[in-house]
Each structure stands twice: as C-alpha cells, then as structure tokens.
Structure 1
Amino acid sequence: MKHLILTVALLITSIFSFAQETQTITVTIDNVTSDKGKVGIALHSKDTFMKAKPIAEMESSIKDGKVTVTFKNVAPGEYAILALHDANENGRMDFKENGMPLESFGASNNVMNFGPPQYEDAKFMVTNKDISLNIRF
C-alpha cells in the first residue's frame, strides 16, 4: 500500500512539473551599423548578468542591419538581455585605449548609461505570455 501511494504521489508530481508553462522571447535589433560580423545575444538572470555564463545565448548573422532571434522554453521569472555586435568575430567586445567600446552593444529596456549596463535597468518579467523585445544599439 505504501508503494502504491508513493507511486501515485510521484506520478502526480512529475505531471505537474512537466506541465509548467514556458514562453518564448523574441529579440529584434534593427539598427546594426553594418552586416559585417555577427550579433551575440545572451539571456541572463540577476546572478549571471555581467558576471557569469548566460542562461542561454544565441548568435546571428546580420541582414540589412537587422537581427532576430528567439529564445524558446523560457521559464517564468525575471531576466535581462545583453547584445553585442561582434564586427570582427573575435568572440569578445573590443575597447579603445581609453576604455570606451569599439563595437556596438545594447541591453533590454534600451537604457543607455555611461558605463556598463546595470541589471536593475535591463530586467523584465516573463509570465504567461510570449515576449517580443526590440533592442537598440
């Protein structure tokens, strides 16, 4: 009897965990300065933003100054997105001698401050609907 109850409880738990809804986040950047190179787009949590490997990342070629990528199966929660136009395709952001970036970048919510993007400015919520974001460089 104990095994039957335990089996039923595990079955119900697994059904509910698989039933958790996930959403998509579609990101469009339509002001890339050239079609040269690639654009990298990274999905971050507060814990990974500007500190660690992103939750998910995508890379796209550029056509007519535009890029669109879609992150699928995103669980509800709070996130931020960082994007970089890696014009020379060396896999990193390049800087001038004075520390200013040589390549275009942007973040969700399009807040541009002096200095690096801040999570609190870039964060957004994923709830029960798919999201479309436009990021400006």
Structure 2
Amino acid sequence: MKSILLFIICLSLSISCWAQSDNTITITINNIKNDTGKILLGLHTENTFMKTEALQKSAIEIIEGKIKVTFNNVTAGEYAILVLHDENNNGKMDFTPNGMPKEDYGLSNNAMNFGPPQFSDAKFEVTTEDITLNILL
C-alpha cells in the first residue's frame, strides 16, 4: 500500500513539473516601418543576454508592418526578448561608423536606454501562465 501511495505522489509531482514547461510567450509587433527584410527575435535568460545565442529564436517575414510569433515550451523563470528588424537580411545588426544602430531594434518591456540593452530593464517572469507581449521598434 505504501508503494502505491509513493507511486501516486511521484507521478503527480512529475506531471506538475512537466506542465510547468508548457508555457508560451507570444510576441506581436505592430509598428514596423516597412516589410523589407525579416524580424529576428531571441528569447534570453540573464546568462545568454547579449553574450551567446538565444535559447529560442525566430526569423519571421513582415506583413503590412506587423508580425506575431510564439515561443513554446518555456519553463518558469526570468527572460528577456531581443528583437531586430534585419532590413538587409544579413543576420546581424548593422552600425554606423560612430557605433549607432542602422536598423530598428526593440526589447521586452519596451526598454530603451542610451547604450547597450540591459537584461534588468527587459526582463519579465514566466510562471504558470502564458505571456503575451507587444514590443515596439
């Protein structure tokens, strides 16, 4: 009897842990200045933000100045989204000779700073509910 009870407890714990990794983050952008190129999006933790490749990424075509994309199977934790309007489709942000970005970009929380983006300004928390974000470029 004890082993059956222990099995039921373990099973219920494993199901609740599995369910927590099924969150989604849906991002919409409605203010893209043109349909040229693609929008590149990256889902980051503090450890990957501006340092390494995103945990999840997407490159999406722009239709009438808008996009919508969903990141699936996101576990609970703190994240930030980086967005780039890659107008020339070269897969990276381009800069002017004085170091200013040539292409539009955005962050979760619509954080805008002078200088490089900061995780602390763009972070949001994923718990047990799906997240919907509207990011401005």
Partner of 1:27: 27
Secondary structure of the structure 2 residue equivalent to 1:58: strand
Partner of 1:122: 122
Give matches, 1:1-137, under 5 Å. 12=11, 15=15, 17-137=17-137
TM-score (norm 1): 0.88
Q: Would the alpha carbon gap of residues 129 and 98 (structure 1) be closer, same or farther in structure 2, given more than 3 Å must change? A: same
Matches of 1:96 and 1:105, distance apart in 2: 14
Matches of 1:67 and 1:77, distance apart in 2: 25
Q: Do the aligned residues in 2 keep the contact of 1:111 with 1:122 (CA within 8 Å)?
A: yes
Give the superposition deviation at 1:20: 3.5
Matches of 2:128 and 2:18, distance apart in 1: 15
1:35-65: CA deviation from partner (whole Å, max 9, x where unpaired):
0000001000000000011110011000111
Identity %: 53
Matches of 1:104 and 1:15, distance apart in 2: 42
Secondary structure of the structure 2 residue equivalent to 1:114: coil
Matches of 1:92 and 1:116, distance apart in 2: 15
Matches of 2:24 and 2:86, distance apart in 1: 24
- Pairwise CA RMSD of aligned residues? 2.0
Aligned residue pair count: 133
Unaligned runs of 5+ in 1: none
Unaligned runs of 5+ in 2: none
Following superposition, which runs of at least 4 residues in structure 1 exceed 4 angstroms of deviation? 13-17
TM-score (norm 2): 0.88
Secondary structure of the structure 2 residue equivalent to 1:18: helix
Matches of 2:113 and 2:42, distance apart in 1: 19
1:100-125: CA deviation from partner (whole Å, max 9, x where unpaired):
00000000001111111100000000
Matches of 1:84 and 1:68, distance apart in 2: 14
